[in-house]
Structure formats: C-alpha cells, structure tokens
Chains A and B, each alone.
Chain A
Amino acid sequence: MGLIDKGRTPKPLTWLLNYSRKYSLWMFQWGLACCAIEMGAALASPRYDMMRLGVIPFPASPRQADLVVISGTVTDKMAPAIRRLYEQMPDPKYVISMGSCANCGGPYWDSYSVTKGVDQIIPVDIYVPGCPPRPEALLQAIVMLQAQIQNEGIGNDQLQKRWRGEPVVIDDPHTAPVVLGPKPEPTAVPVV
C-alpha cells in the first residue's frame, strides 16, 4: 500500500478500492436499547434484510469490524466501554449513531445518568433521527455511508491518517480536542 501511504493512488484504483470497501462493510452491532430491536429487524427480518446491501452483521469481535452502529441510549456507565471497543476497531472505521438517544440524549436530555450524545466520546459519520428510527431509516443510513465511502479521496490528509492508523485530532471549539487512535508521543520539552 505504498501508493496509499503517499496519498498518490491513481483515480481508477481509488474508485475500485472504495467500490470494494463499500460493499463489504463488516458491521459491529452495538445494541443498547429500543433501537437495537429495530436494528435487529433491519438485519434479521425477511422484510428488510440488510445483508443485500453488502453489510455483514456478524463479526466475531470489533477487531474485525469496519462499521459500528450505536443504537440506543448511551449511559455514563456504558460510555467507557464504547470508547474502548471503538478504539479496538481497525482503521478506516465508520460510526452510525442510531436514534435520538445516541444522537443527543433524546427523551432523557435532562437525566442524570445518560450521556447526551455518543459524539461526545467517538466521532460519528451518520446520524439517524427517530425514536426509534424505522428499519428503513437505518437502511438509508447505510446507503448514505456507502455513497460517502465511494467519494472518499485517498489523497485527503485526514483520511490518509485514518488509513495509516495515525492519531487524528478533532479540534472542536466547544470541547477539549479529542485524539483518536494511538496517542501522539509527547514532544520533547526544550530545556532552557
């Protein structure tokens, strides 16, 4: 993958890479609350059948997954586990936040034990609104994510970092900067 590392992949090759990636998404299901049942309906019910979109929902561990669907209420007790399993996933990795609770806290916006949005702990690619969203909405999210993957340029600096598994710093003015992936080595403090 020398070309990818340098960010100089020929266009047809980029297209082919993205095309193959988007139809073999190994999805790690993080079923938390009500949305988990709707996610189950999208996966296992003959009416929706998500596997026809090229999503394989049974990886043995997060270490083999490309995509995680956080479906349901994230509580403060659960948040460290989500962060930890997200970090175990190999790059490049994608996150779908399903349902109002995972998006922003939902009906529990003033609860003392609920994390107000999973994007406080991990970066989210697609938000699915609804309480709970219908299975069709999750299918739409998958299709949108596939479109996003297809249009990813590998030359993009931040994407390159994701490919290489280097730390990506998300600098949000409202929160402390979030560092994803391996922590950067502390720079040597110049001795005065």
Chain B
Amino acid sequence: MSTTEMPSAPDFELERSAMRHLADAQMNVELDTGDMILNLGPQHPATHGTLRLVVRLDGERVIAADPVIGYMHRGYEKLTEFRTYPQITTLINRIDWLSSFANEVPFVHAAEQLMGIEAPARAQYIRTILTELSRIATFVLFLGEMGLQVGALTPAFYGFRDREHVLNLIEGATGGRFHPNFNRIGGLKDDLPWGWVSETRQVMQLVLDSCDQFEDLVVGNEIFLSRTRGIGIIPGDIGTAYGVSGSNLRASGVDWDLRRDGVPYLAYPDLDFKVWTHAAGDSFARYWVRLQETRESVRMVLQLLDGLPAGPVMAKVPRIIKVPEGEAWVETENPLGQMGYYIVSKGATGPFRVKIRSASFSNVSILPWLLRGVYVPDVVTILASLYFILGDIDR
C-alpha cells in the first residue's frame, strides 16, 4: 500500500502577488518613455554664441547635461608662440570680447614684471579707469541680456543703450570702440584726450541712473523673481571646488576678490571699495551682485578721476622689446572672473610658451553638476546668469 501524500495547498497569495508585480512591470514597460536627448546649439540664441549643450531629459527634467566646447577654439596658446609681445596684445583683446581692455592688463603686467619695468602712476590710473569702464560695459549688457533670456525684450535695449555710452568713452580715449589694444609694455599709447574726464563724470551719472532703472524694471519684476529665485543654486564650497570665480562665486557667499585679496596691481590698493556678496547662490543672486558691482565700479571710476596723478604715461622702454629669460604668473579680477597668464620667456622677442587661465572655462565646467535635475526653461536662465563668453571658454 503506498501512501500518496496530498499535494500541499498552493500558495494562492504568493501567486497573486507575483501576478500583480508582473502586471505592474508590464505597465511600466508600456508607459515608459525613453530619455530624450535634446541638443542645444552650437547655433542657438540662448547659448551666447557657440556653446553646444547635449541634454538628456526625462519629461521636462534634465537628468544629465554635457557641454560640448571647442566651436570657437582659435588656438591662442599656439599663436602666441609665433608672435612678438606687442603683437600678442592685439590677439588677447579678443579672448573675452566684451571686456577687451581688461584682458590686456594681466599679460602686459607679466611682461613688465619679467623686464623689471613699472608703468608710471598716471598710466596705472588710466589703466584702472579703462578696466573698470570695460567692466561696466560688460555688466550693463548682462543686466539687459538676462532680462532677454527670461523673455523680456525691453531690458536688452536699455543694456545696449548704456553700453554705447561707455563704448563712446573707451573709443574717445583709445581710438578703438571694441578692441582698444591701448596697453604698451611700460605704459599706455597715449594720454587721455582733452575733456574726457568731465565727459566720463556725466556718463557715470547716466550709468548710475540706469542701474536704478534696471532695479525698478527687472529686479522688482515678479516674473523675473519667480524665474530666478532658487534656480541654479551653487553652494560656495562646490563653486570653489569647480574653480568658479568672479561674480558667480561672490554670489555664492564667498568673499573673494582679487582686486582686494590678490597680489596688489594697478591702482586698486589706493581705492576704497566694497566687495559685494550674496548668500543665496542662485540666478537672482548673480544678477543682484553684478548690479551692485556696476554701481561699485562707477564709484571707483569717480574716485580714480578725482585722484588722477599728473606725469608721463610711458616708462623708458627699449625700442625692440626683448623679455629676459624667466617665468611669470599674473592673475587679475576680470569682469567674468579670475584671469591669468603664465609666461615662459627664453629671452626672445616673443614668449616661449603662454598658458592662459580664463574665467569662463572654469565657470562652465560646473554645468554638468549644476544642470542636473532642473527644468528645461531654467537651463536658459542658468546659462544666462553664469554669463560666459565663448572666446573665453575655448580661447
């Protein structure tokens, strides 16, 4: 007699749960929409030139962003090896094309350091004035452009209007509206023209007024606030780790400005100015800090005009410039951030090697971290608020 065991009761509960899971899985497969790859640029109005951004989207949310650079790579570091020092200042005007004059200053300083020349006090003051003027020209355009990127066309007109005033001044002093190429090793090409100082005072008043206008028009605007407040927050430590510098870093609460904290250069040690910071670190903070810095620059220009010393604008310099053997590193606070040149000289009329540290390259390197998890429309405001120049990224 065989004993047949009854089969145990099937575990209906387990089976039902498994079926539920299967159904869920199938539903997920059916409802699943694959990630979408969105390609912004290289020709796109929101990328300020030719930055290409490959963005992976889940619905409206960015899950990964990859900046593709190199569309504006012009080979500066190689070209400098084939040019003489006076020729190089022509080239490096065009790295950050919005603030051309400020680009020349660190390079000329490095060359002067190697040659053991110091520009006269009047030249230093005029250099400082022109640097601050190009900072105003850059920031005023930003103040308008940022409005454009959140959908308001009018601030852009104001931005260009004020920029024209400042460009007129730069043209009056240097002869070049856009790329002055005014610095010489050992000083400046020319002195200021007659009547320039009083005209500058008038224009500075105009700029101050228009800063108030921007404050009314843009900063107080509810749409602008909701598009920028809390968007694209860079914490101070992460910004520092990525090498973000300039106003972008100061908007994250890091109180660091090479004009005050770095090796003293130009006439900045004589000036009384405040370094503005904002604790929030979002797009709005970056706008606000640049607005305050524009006003601060106006204050600095007025101080410089008051204290403008008399004297020559050019030191004694040999006719053919040969820089003695050596290496020099000079960094300055440019409108977009920290900019530096590392020059290696072998005693010839041109440098042996030049390394250019430009601000925008590091500022953009934070994008993959920063854009993760934001919505697509916010990508545009974040890009606009970081304010980079493609020539400054790709060089």
A interface residues, Cβ below 8 angstroms from B: 30-34, 36-38, 40-41, 44-47, 73, 75, 77-78, 81, 85, 107-108, 110-114, 131-132, 134
Say whether A108 contacts B177, CB under 8 Å. Answer: no
Say whether A30 contacts B43, CB under 8 Å. Answer: yes
Say whether B79 contacts A131, CB under 8 Å. Answer: no
Given A34-B179, A34-B391, A78 and B156 touching (CB < 8 A)?
A: no
Say whether B43 contacts A37, CB under 8 Å. Answer: no
Say whether A131 contacts B42, CB under 8 Å. Answer: no
CB distance from A61 to the nearest CB of B (A): 11
Say whether B75 contacts A112, CB under 8 Å. Answer: yes
CA distance A113 to B75 in the complex (A): 7
Closest-by-CB residue of B relative to A109 is B79
Given A34-B178, A77-B73, A46 and B160 touching (CB < 8 A)?
A: yes
Given A33-B391, A44-B156, A47-B164, A75 and B97 touching (CB < 8 A)?
A: no
| 10 intermolecular pairs with C-beta atoms under 8 Å apart | A33-B49, A34-B94, A37-B98, A37-B141, A78-B71, A81-B43, A110-B79, A112-B75, A113-B74, A132-B178
Interface string of B38-54 (1 = CB under 8 A from A): 00001100000110000
Say whether A41 contacts B74, CB under 8 Å. Answer: no
CB distance from A101 to the nearest CB of B (A): 9
Instruction: Give the top 9 A-B pairs by smallest Cβ distance, nearest first.
Output: A45-B160, A34-B97, A111-B75, A78-B71, A113-B75, A108-B74, A113-B73, A47-B164, A77-B71
Say whether A40 contacts B43, CB under 8 Å. Answer: no
CA distance A77 to B75 in the complex (A): 13
B91 within 8 A of A: yes
Chain B 203-246 interface residues, beta-carbon cutoff 8 Å to A: none
| B contact residues around A45 at 8 Å (CB) | 157, 160-161, 163-164
CA distance A112 to B73 in the complex (A): 10
Say whether A31 contacts B49, CB under 8 Å. Answer: yes
Closest-by-CB residue of A relative to B158 is A46
Besides A32-B50, A110-B79, A112-B75, 6 new A-B residue pairs in contact (Cβ under 8 A), listed by A number? A38-B178, A44-B160, A75-B72, A78-B50, A111-B74, A111-B79
B111 within 8 A of A: no
CA distance A73 to B73 in the complex (A): 9
Say whether A73 contacts B72, CB under 8 Å. Answer: yes
Interface string of B149-163 (1 = CB under 8 A from A): 000000011001101
B70 within 8 A of A: yes
| B contact residues around A36 at 8 Å (CB) | 49
B369 within 8 A of A: no
| A contact residues around B178 at 8 Å (CB) | 34, 37-38, 132
Say whether B75 contacts A114, CB under 8 Å. Answer: yes
CB distance from B346 to the nearest CB of A (A): 20
Say whether B161 contacts A46, CB under 8 Å. Answer: yes
CA distance A35 to B70 in the complex (A): 18
B84 within 8 A of A: no
CB distance from B270 to the nearest CB of A (A): 32
CB distance from A54 to the nearest CB of B (A): 19
| B contact residues around A134 at 8 Å (CB) | 177
CA distance A1 to B375 in the complex (A): 47
Contact of B160 among A33, A41, A73, A113 (CB under 8 A): A41
Closest-by-CB residue of B relative to A36 is B49
| A contact residues around B72 at 8 Å (CB) | 32-33, 73, 75, 78
| A contact residues around B70 at 8 Å (CB) | 75, 77
Interface string of B369-385 (1 = CB under 8 A from A): 00000000000000000
Say whether A46 contacts B49, CB under 8 Å. Answer: no
Closest-by-CB residue of A relative to B68 is A77
Say whether A75 contacts B73, CB under 8 Å. Answer: yes
Closest-by-CB residue of A relative to B42 is A81
| A contact residues around B179 at 8 Å (CB) | 34, 131-132
B82 within 8 A of A: yes
Contact of A47 among B42, B73, B156, B161 (CB under 8 A): B161
